[in-house]
Structure formats: C-alpha cells, structure tokens
Amino acid sequence: MLLGRPRRDGLVGGHSYVESSNLDAKPQNFDQIKDHFKNDNTTFKQRYWRNSQYYKNNGIVFLLIQGESIATDAWANNPGYTYITLAKLYNADVYQLEHRCFGFSRPEPDMKVSSLSTCNVDQALEDIKTFISAQNSNVYKNVKPKWITFGGSYPGFLSAAFRMKYPEYTVGAVASSAPMLWTLDFFQYAQVVQDTMFDVDVNCGNAISTAFTQMQTLSLTTTGRNQLSTYFNLSPAFNANVTQLDIDNFFANIYGYFQDVTQYTYDGRNEATRGGLDVTNLCKIMTDNTVPDYIKRVNNVVLWYNKLNKITQTTMDNSYAASIKTLANTTFDDENASQDNAASRGWMWLCCNEMGVLQTTDQGYNIFQQIVPLNYYIDMCTQMFSADINIKRIRDRNTAFYKRYGGIDHYTATNIVLPNGAYDPWHSLGLNWNNTDLHVSSILIPKAGHCSDMYPIYPGEAAGLKNARDYINKEVAYFLGVPVVPFPQ
C-alpha cells in the first residue's frame, strides 16, 4: 500500500473480472485543454470510452470519472458494475474519462515536477466540464441531456466536487467512498483499521497489538533487527548502516498488509477479495493458538496475502532507497501494462502537492504503535520530487486545498448520494450527514469495504450492499425524474 493506494490497480481497481466477453467500448481520444487557467489553447489527448449499447436517445448520460490509475476497458463494459447496471435500467449512454497525468492521458511526455504542474484537482474538474460541454455540443445537440457523474474513492470526491462547483452540468452525482475532509495527517485511517479488528474479534486486536509491540522492541537493537530480517526474509536484510527511515519503511510495509485487507474486505474487487482476502480470515491467522509466536503469525498473514494475490516473490522488499528510486523515476513505465510505478508517483504527487491524507499511526496509543510517523511521508515527498516540496509547502497547500473545497461541514451541493463502507478506513473522511432540502444522502454500509457498492454482486459480499444498491437506484431515478426500475439482485 502507498497512502491507501495498492501498488497494483489503484484505489478502485482496474482489472476486476468482466462477466461478458463483449468489450465493444474501446478508448478514444478527446482534445483536452492542457492548462485551463492560462490564455492558451494548447491541447493534449485525453482518453475516454463510450458504451452506447443501452442508449435510447433519451438524453440520459452516465459518466464514470477515473482517478489515480490507468483506465481500462473493463470499467466501460462490465455489465456487473453498478453504474452500468443502472445504465441498462434507464437506457443511459455511458462514458468513462481517464484522469489527466495517468494512463495515456498525458499533458506532458514525462512526470518531472515541472510537467506535473497541471496535475491537480482544479484542472481535473475543468477537464470534466470541458468534456461534458463538448459531448453536449457534438452528440446531444438535439436533446436536453441529463448527466449523472459516478466515481469511487478519489474520483468519488471529484464526482462530489464537480456537482458542487458546476451543478448546471449534471442532474445528480454518486460519490462512492469519497473522502471529503482532506486532512494532512490521516491518522484516522489506522483508527478504523484497529476498530475493525476489534469488531471482528477482540482477541484479534489484542494479538496484533502484541505482535507489533514485539516487533517494535526488536527494531531497537542489532540482534532484534536481524531476527526481523529472518522472520520476513527481508531483502536486503537490515545491516549496520540502518537508518530510522529504513525502520519506518519496514513497518509501513508490514502495516500495509493490514491496511489492504481491511480497506477491501468483502469487496467484489477481484478474485482475491472474492476468494477470502478479508478481515475475518486475517483474524483467524492472528488468533491461531497453534502458532504461539505472534510475529510468526504476522508473517503468516503476509504469506496468505501473497498466495491469494498470486504473488510468487519469496522475499520482502526492504530498501527505502530502492523504493524512492522507483517513485522518483520521471518516465511513464509503458513497459508495465498497468503503469503502476508511474501511477504511484502520480498519486503521491496529488497527495504531496495538495490533498494530504498521509496515513500515519500518530493517533496516540493504538495496536500498531507509533510506527509510521508523519515525517516518514514528508521525507518521501521531498526525496521523490524536490527539496522545495517540504513540510511548509505541503502543509500550506493542503490547508488551502481544504479551504477551497469546504470540507464535510460546508458541502453545498444538491442531488448527490455518498455511500461508504463501515470497514473502509476512508469512511472516516467521508460525509456522514443527510440534508433533505438539498437532497444530499449519505449511506454507511455495515461491514463493507472501499467502493464496495460499485462492484458486481457476489455471494460473500456484505449483507447491507443490497439495500445500498437499491437506495442508489432510487436516488438515480429521482435525479433523472423517472419512475424507479427495480435493481436486479
């Protein structure tokens, strides 16, 4: 995990299974303005997908906003995804828009700091406005279009922010697992992970606390660090030149397994999450009394995670310097089909440049201990980008970003539904109130994970997802001003 983003596939996931071999919607290019805030009409090619198989010339249009990863054919075609199921119910035209600076939507040919200057939320929102305006002029000039935006996680925020900033362009929005409180020190993430573990099994939370306390103690001595190297088959092993950043990086990697499992627990995201990669099974490993060594139990979690994700690597990467070298690379890694390294750099830029959400364990006493401090991420930002990206700049730009988008207490949009999973650590930054006058509705889905309402239905999902999808369906019909068509369950 890297600030809550898996190093593969992004926050929402780019490669969830497709139930149909019909992948008719393929990427096309749109001439997007490079910098919306300059008097310059220079453009770049922004990718989009259009799936019109359900459209009946009624002006109903759904737009899926993509975020911090390459966009894929699956998200424009899979009939099991909730928004495409809704498109079929209401005969909507479907679009997917790739985020600038990710995938092949590149304002600049590289990811140098100077090239990332237009990679920000303000530009992304203008991209959406420009794209919708162009489609209205070119495709829907003979009808009065009714657009609804959809997005999950960071794109969920974009869906919500676009609805607030430009309400005249849409009739409503769905913003799944959308962070709305862009805090710099996101210690609440660890708090939700802890709460989830205790909710599953008190003994699980206690076992994790014991294990991390023991690991932290071992990290203080040469002998102890050698033991940690053996436990987790670290590559490279800790040596005499170990720094505090090396130790922080080790713990961030270990903590990342618990983050990932919790964030996507019971999701229909991919084969692993549908196949048992969830907090219940994690807790079974951590409370396995046939394994008296608590640190060994943590390593068993790692092995189990790797097996379900079909990761064959037998060592655990343990070089902070190597990680920074990868993230500091300024080229798009086109040799990697999912462009994970470039996407990770892009996500870190969004966070270091303005959004924050640096996932520490700084909330005081907790089962993970104070193993991932804020300075760990500040140092990463500086070393990945430049010395100018320092704590003062990061803090000041994050404060300005928060003020610009209002936070959860000053959200003024109408006609929006914001679903969140109660087990998803991101829900702690979500909007959790309802306003009938504005028709703003939030849903907290019990025992559900990140963006769980967006994925295809599967037998092991959280029970509350049925009601959540029914509610989203009802709201979409309200936004469109049409009768409700029952959602297939």
Catalytic residues: 153, 424, 450
DSSP string, 424-481: -GGGGGS----BTTTTEEEEEETT--TTGGGSPP-TTS-TTHHHHHHHHHHHHHHHHT
Q: Which CA distances in Å does 399 have to 147, 163, 185, 394?
A: 32, 22, 12, 9
Are the C-beta atoms of residues 31 and 116 closer than 8 Å to each other? no
Other beta carbons less than 10 A from residue 94's beta carbon: 27
DSSP string, 6-72: -TTTTTT-S----S-S------EEEEEES-TTSS---EEEEEEEEE-TT--SS-EEEEEEP-SS---
Question: How close are the terminal C-alpha atoms of the chain, in Å?
Answer: 32
Helix (H) or strand (E) holding 118: none
* DSSP, res 177: T
Q: Which CA distances in Å does 251 have to 211, 281, 319, 474?
A: 12, 22, 12, 44
